[in-house]
Amino acid sequence: MRYMLLICGQSNEGSKPPEDGPADPATESWMAEMDGRGVRLIGDRLRPASMATTVRVKDGEVLLSDGPFAETKEQILGFDLLECADLDEAIEVASKHPAASWGTIEVRPLWPFEAPEQA
């Protein structure tokens, strides 16, 4: 089953290393371990929420606003998509992520993909 890890924490604006630089060594080690186990399919850090664009459609009109949907101190900083046997394995993987020691990791199952029937 696939699970999304949402890595949440305080804004990383102005943090070191730079947003487009390499991850910290502990996270690099976690990524290497999970890639080696074959459970991590993809993942990345997100740029700061101040760079977000929020999209809404009201009465057919596209409404755009700069920045995140909600003003909060905690933001989604990154994500990892996992393929795990079950929730227990996904929790075990999340608990090993370095961000679990300073932030929050939300583990959320994805709906199974069902391809549309071919005519």
Task: Kindly give, in sequence order, each residue whose CB lies less than 8 Å from that of residue 85, ignoring residues fewer than 6 positions away.
Answer: 1
pLDDT at 112 over 90: no
Per-residue pLDDT band for 50 (boundaries 50, 70, 90) equals confident
Residues in the chain, overall count:
119
pLDDT for 84-96, tens place per residue? 999 999 999 999 9
Handedness of CA 85, 107, 91, 49 (dihedral sign): positive
- Entry pTM: 0.80
Taking 80 as the threshold, does the pLDDT of residue 58 lie above it? yes
The distance from CA 26 to its chain's CA centroid, rounded to whole angstroms, is: 17
- 5, 43 Cβ separation under 8 angstroms: yes
Per cent of the chain over pLDDT 90 is: 63
- Complete domains list, the chain, with CATH: 2-13+40-109 (3.30.70.1060)
* Mean pLDDT over each residue of the chain, to the nearest integer: 87
Q: What is the pLDDT of residue 20?
A: 57
